[in-house]
Amino acid sequence: MPIHWLCGSNINNSVVESRTLCVVDQNTEFEASDNTETIVRRNCTMPIYHEKQKRELCALHALNNVFQDGQAYNKQMLDEICQNLAPSSMLNPHKSVLGLGNYDVNVIMAALQLRNCEAVWWDKRKNLDILNFDNIIGFILNMPSPLQWGLLSLPIKRKHWVAVRELDGAFYNLDSKFKSPDTIGDREALKSFFRAQTRVKECELLLVVSKEIADVRGWKFENGVYGGACAS
């Protein structure tokens, strides 16, 4: 049975300025290449790709951010997935009827499979200490987010997709609504971050892993399985 977790976004057409200068810490340099993405260069060595919010495309942004590749997916690809999931539906249940995005979890799962990856739903009752981070490519959160109208925040919550990824030994919150990536820290800091987020009833966590790892449940330490990566 299809699952329906929807994403939300700012209800306006505003975009981030074409060039911005953002700082996460003293060793971080940001270069904004256009109004929808930021290339972050920490210590001018390893870049961090951070795609920013546009319309209701947070699922698209989360996918590209988790793979660190702005060419990994596009709106046309996700719309085609929606069509394949519900070919006979007049009103597609997997996206916004207005065509602005708002893709559900089924689209995320199908999109990951195109890259030989799987989305593993995390049981919030489990202890995060069992996670084998070496076998996890990244994480995608589905979480409540305030509805925006321009600069006004409305007292309404909608669901929003957010990517979290480890880069060069540190984990980053690559929320497309943020002006820049937010440093979470090491693995212990990440577990604390996830514990805080998943205390919210409406928040769900997906692990992004290769199909090989998903098949053997190698994202857990209990199996003692290492290796395997999906296309990037």
- Which residues are annotated as catalytic? 58, 160, 175
> Does residue 221 come out as left (phi exceeding 0), alpha (psi in the -120 to 50 range) or beta?
alpha
Paired sense of beta strands 182-185 and 152-167, if any: unpaired
* Long-range CB contacts (within 8 A, 24+) of 195-200: 195/128, 197/141, 197/143, 198/122, 198/124, 200/143, 200/144
What gap in Å lies between CA 189 and CA 166, rounded to an integer? 12
Contacts of 185 by beta carbon, 8 Å cutoff, 6+ apart: 170, 171
What gap in Å lies between CA 32 and CA 40, rounded to an integer? 8
Beta bridge pairs of residue 141 = 162, 205
Q: Which two tokens stand for residue 113?
A: 């499979």
> How is residue 167 annotated by DSSP?
E
